[in-house]
Amino acid sequence: MVIVILVKLALVAGTVWLTKEIGVWDGPDTTAEIYEDVKSQIKPFAEDLKERYCSKYCGTNKPTKPWRESFVDAWNDSIKEGFLTANRLPKYCYRFTDDVQKTINQLFNGNSMK
């Protein structure tokens, strides 16, 4: 247990140290430069993987949205999904308590309930 926590702590500390060394924490301009550099280095590999593994349905002709618009859409979708999940929560809680009650009754009474 302690080893797992230490490994996780070491991974987090190593990630923070590495991002500090790379310069991610310096400022928005530096971060944008790092992002563009990483993107330009990964692009050939991504194109190769697309050509190798993508079917005819991978290439969509939909125009891509700017990053900010896609971020806003993702944020709105996550908020909507959160509210939908909160809406379903009473049903799940009822089913959970019903299952627990049936299990406890079955344990104490010794008969199987359907």
Reported as a single tens digit per residue, the pLDDT across 21-39 is: 887 778 888 888 888 888 8
pLDDT at 10 over 90: yes
Write down how long the chain is: 114
Task: Name every residue whose Cβ is closer than 8 Å to that of residue 22 and which is 6 or more positions away in sequence.
Answer: 34
The pLDDT value recorded for residue 58 is 63
CA distance 20 to 26: 8
pTM given for the model: 0.36
Residue 104 placed within a domain? yes
Domain containing residue 90: 73-109
Outline where DSSP puts E strands in 1-66: none
Whether 86 maps to a domain, the answer reads: yes
- Tally of domains within the chain: 1
Is residue 79 domain-resident? yes
**What band does 56 get if pLDDT is binned at 50, 70 and 90?**
low
DSSP conformation class of 62: S
The residue with tokens 């790379």 is 22
Our measurement of the distance from residue 93's CA atom to the centroid of its chain's CA atoms, rounded to an integer in Å, reads 25
Predicted pLDDT of residue 62: 60
Mean pLDDT of all residues belonging to the chain: 82
Phi, psi dihedrals of residue 76, rounded to the nearest 5°: -65, -40
95 within a domain of the structure (yes/no):
yes
Within a domain: 101: yes
Residue 112, pLDDT score = 56
97 falls within a domain? yes
pLDDT in tens, 67-92: 667 788 888 889 999 999 889 888 88
As given in the structure block, the two tokens for residue 53 are 């593994």
Residue 54 forms part of a structural domain: no
In a domain, 38, yes or no: no
What's the farthest any 2 CA atoms get from each other in the chain? 69
Query: What pLDDT is attached to residue 80?
Result: 92
The C-alpha atoms of residue 96 and residue 90 are separated, in whole angstroms, by 10
